[in-house]
Amino acid sequence: MRLVVSGATGFLGGHLARRLVAERHEVIGLGRDAAAGARLADDGVRFRSIDLATADALAEAGADGFVHAAALSSNWGRRQAFVAANVTGTANALTLARRLGVRRFVHISSPSVGFRFADQFGVSEDAPLPRPVNAYAASKGRAEQLVLAAGDLSPVVLRPRGLFGPGDTTLLPRLVRAARQGPLPLLRGGEAVTDLTHVEDAVEAIIAALRAGPQAAGRIYNVSGGEALPVRRIAELAALRAGVPVAWRAVPVAVALLAARVLETRALLTPGRPEPVVTAYSVGVMAYSQTLDISRAARELGWRPRIGIEAGIAAP
């Protein structure tokens, strides 16, 4: 197949593009990082430098599938930036896919669209969405709506939870950096659990979505490792892997949230609006359990995770 991967210079997109090339597909990778694009080209990806937030042009004859993995992913930032990258960028990706005659459009969304400041176990794809917790979640929710309305592209939406694995520079490294700086906050006695997704399992889910029949069109699928571990245990495993000692300090959730709100307000009043050390969303992730029901992906896509959290973190 001839496939387009946006966000190919990112963590998930890079893994996906290389895997598709290894399976002898012709891959056109889109991204903004020229250096990362050059490395993709060395691995057989036809890299094209393009920013979908501002452009939807691509001098290509056609494609069978389009995986839209490009996004601005952060729990802090200007609303306009999230709208440009995640809403306008998705609209432009859909326009480009139509011009290329794509038969299947796979959109990478996020379970953050369903985040609440409360424990949630086995959240299904059909669960009513709450008010967005931040600008990122709002933009991803709007992008999902655009994709699902594009029935002519046989769209599929995937919501992978907490990607980690080789090349991760965000999720687990952020925890390790925080551990280096001092005690981590122990919220609600450290009882919160979550499920993560190894990047290779996410790649398998995307491939399953590309190959799925018409029954998958217009559907949303949760993606995760299928096991829940305490957030405390995940942080300790990541720190152990990096050789960093971990200390904990018990903090009431109400106090942590108040401190986060104060820091957010201060950041909003500071020139450049720098990301605060902690946000309300990051406190919520540490304090409340969030797990996904992935049974729909098993039933309809034939996909199941293969790499557990502990094994994935321990792997070289």
d(CA 263, CA 212): 45
pLDDT at residue 232 in the model = 94
> Can you say whether residue 154 is alpha, beta or left, with left for phi > 0 and alpha for psi between -120 and 50 degrees?
left
pTM of structure: 0.94
Residue 138 resides in a domain: yes
Residue 36 resides in a domain: yes
Residue 249 resides in a domain: no
Percent over 70 (pLDDT), the chain: 100
Average pLDDT, the chain: 94
Q: Which CATH number covers residue 143? A: 3.40.50.720
Percent over 90 (pLDDT), the chain: 87
Q: How far is CA 65 from CA 3, 12, 156, 171, 247, in A?
A: 5, 17, 11, 28, 47
pLDDT at residue 94 in the model = 96
pLDDT at residue 61 in the model = 76
Count of structural domains within the chain: 1
> Six-digit token pair at 287?
């304090």
- Checking if the pLDDT of 56 tops 90, the result is no
Residue 205 resides in a domain: yes
pLDDT tens-place string over residues 235-292: 999 999 999 999 999 999 999 999 999 999 999 999 988 988 889 999 999 999 999 9
Which domain, by its residues, includes 218? 2-167+197-224+293-306
315 band by pLDDT with thresholds 50, 70 and 90 = confident
136 an active-site residue?
A: yes
51 band by pLDDT with thresholds 50, 70 and 90 = confident
**Range name among 50-59, 103-112, 192-201, 246-255 with the lowest pLDDT average:** 50-59
Residue 12 resides in a domain: yes
d(CA 200, CA 16): 8
- Checking if the pLDDT of 53 tops 90, the result is no
d(CA 144, CA 162): 18
Choose among 89, 219, 70, 223: nearest CA to 151: 219
- Checking if the pLDDT of 212 tops 90, the result is yes
- Checking if the pLDDT of 126 tops 90, the result is yes
Residue 250 resides in a domain: no
54 band by pLDDT with thresholds 50, 70 and 90 = confident
| Beta-sheet strand order (sheet of 290-292) | 120-123, 290-292, 193-194, 229-230
pLDDT at residue 292 in the model = 98
Residue 285 resides in a domain: no
- Checking if the pLDDT of 177 tops 80, the result is yes
Do the Cβ atoms of 111 and 222 come closer than 8 Å? Answer: yes
Choose among 257, 249, 299, 247: nearest CA to 278: 257
pLDDT tens-place string over residues 293-303: 999 999 999 99
60 band by pLDDT with thresholds 50, 70 and 90 = confident
Computed from CA positions of residues 8, 13, 14, 17, in that sequence, does the dihedral angle turn out positive or negative?
Answer: negative
pLDDT tens-place string over residues 28-39: 999 999 999 999
Q: How large is the average pLDDT for residues 155-159?
A: 98
Residue 75 resides in a domain: yes
Active-site position among 136, 221, 281, 288: 136
164 band by pLDDT with thresholds 50, 70 and 90 = very high
